[in-house]
Amino acid sequence: MSSEQGTLPHVVVIGGGFGGLRLARRLRRAPVRLTVVDRANHHLFQPLLYQVALSVLSPAEIAMPIRAVLRAQKNARVLLCEAERVDLAGRRVELFDADSLDYDYLVLAAGARTSFFGHDEWAEHALGLKDLDDAIEIRRRVLLAFEQAERERDPQRREELMRFVVVGGGPTGVELAGAIAELGRRVMARDFRQIDPQQTKVVLLEAGPRILPAFDESLSARAAAQLESLGVEVRCRAAVSGIEPDGVRLGDGFIPTWTAIWAAGVRASPLAESLGVALDRAGRVPVRADCSLEGHPEAFAIGDIAGFVPEGAERPLPGVSPVAIQQADLVAANIAADLRGRPRKAFVYRDRGIMATIGRSRAVAQTRRFRFGGWLAWLAWLLVHIWFLIGFRNRVSVMASWFWSYLTFKSGARLITGTCLHPRVRRELEQQGRAPSRTCRE
């Protein structure tokens, strides 16, 4: 770092997701020193994470190293570590296994984590989907379920192996349920000899009265019909009361399954808890009109960690990428305005609509003026998501993978990594006093 750079205001960005990375790039010509801190070395395109989980795409197709993205940005450096706590009064960020960082401006863009609504014990038996590790584990478990079913002699256990339960009827849950159904009924239909993957059963559970509650009611109904055409059983008003090693409990009912996937809720990053400010029910940090924290105009929060309530609204904005990106643009502009001695602007969200894909040529989309579904919505979803991918190589790679999958019904990333034992099989072997097999690389 040059002595001249050392005198510039220091902007610390916690998180390299949509908001954090967008803000860093917006400040590329600003007279500041910029430090981006993230516990992963890559930017992740989360809307396509479920496609990694269900073997459509490989991890490298939806992720790109943060250093590569910011390589040409001379005023930026990247630190691979995790922020432990923030000292707002001292303007300092304390890091795990690294020196603390003093800042002139702080931008919290640390995202969210899976929330089990106070039942953290369910995490042992249900798979969340927030990062690449989660996606790879879901892929492993789903593929292992089919492999175990192929050699299972007990018809009841085989049926449980081929039954998948997805909890949560929001976009992630809908996308996962549709993708699992397509994987079993179409992609893997001819890969096995003892089982028929077309007999795959997917159950989608939603505690509310309908799936996709953020969408127009007509689109929710259309999405449910499209899921059912894929063989997905959609159950609304089905609140989960327990997730156990061998299934999901609903009040007095029970759904036996070897694979339960949780897509029902998220909570802001635990970093918010270190701020010493009152948080909302989802653990988000309340912010002012300019996205700064009350009493700390030099500290901002954007994206999933921010609880921004628009004027006249009752609820905070949703934790979706367009919100984070637009907030990043606003905060970058306000930091630049401070440096020039100009007044800040207030954040105004421009809602360009929402989309959810349900399967091959199936999707729903909603804007202020239009409601549509089917192939046209799927094509719009495809183009929008590819456009936002970081890097030209990623766009080309994802388009090629999707085109090949569309034409052939083949997925190119059906790899089982790690142990070849399903966790339930491992537990059963251990209970019998048998050492788990190590015939696969572990």
pLDDT per residue, tens digit, the chain (442 aa), is 444 556 899 999 999 999 999 999 999 999 999 999 999 999 999 988 999 998 888 888 889 999 999 999 999 999 999 999 999 999 999 999 888 999 999 999 999 999 999 899 999 999 999 999 999 999 999 999 999 999 999 999 999 999 999 999 999 999 999 999 999 988 888 889 999 999 999 999 999 999 999 999 999 999 999 999 999 999 999 999 999 999 999 988 999 999 999 999 889 999 999 999 999 999 999 999 999 999 999 999 999 999 999 988 888 999 889 999 999 999 999 999 999 999 999 999 999 889 999 987 889 999 888 899 988 998 888 888 888 877 767 788 887 877 777 666 666 678 887 777 788 888 888 888 876 655 444 4
Phi, psi of 297 (to 5 degrees): -65, -15
The distance in angstroms from the start CA to the end CA of the chain is 43
Q: pLDDT for 25-41, tens place per residue? A: 999 999 999 999 999 99
Going by C-beta distance under 8 Å and a sequence separation of 6 or more, which residues neighbour residue 280? 286, 307, 316
Identity of the residue numbered 334: N
Domains for the chain: give ranges and CATH numbers: 3-114+266-340 (3.50.50.60), 120-265+353-416 (3.50.50.100)
Identify the DSSP state of 198: G
Q: pLDDT for 55-93, tens place per residue? A: 888 888 889 999 999 999 999 999 999 999 999 999 999
Q: Name the nearest CA neighbour of 354 among 371, 374, 379, 376.
A: 371
Going by C-beta distance under 8 Å and a sequence separation of 6 or more, which residues neighbour residue 206? 168, 169, 173, 234, 235, 236, 237, 238
Residue identified by tokens 């929060």 is: 301
Annotated catalytic residue within 61, 137, 160, 175: 175
Q: Tokens representing 189?
A: 């239909």
Which helix H or strand E contains 403, and what residues bound it? Answer: helix 392-408
Q: What's the confidence (pLDDT) of residue 434?
A: 79
Strands (DSSP E) found in 231-336: 232-236, 242-244, 247-250, 253-256, 259-262, 266-268, 285-286, 292-293, 296-301, 306-307
What's this model's pTM, rounded to 2 decimal places? 0.90
Q: Is 442 a catalytic residue?
A: no
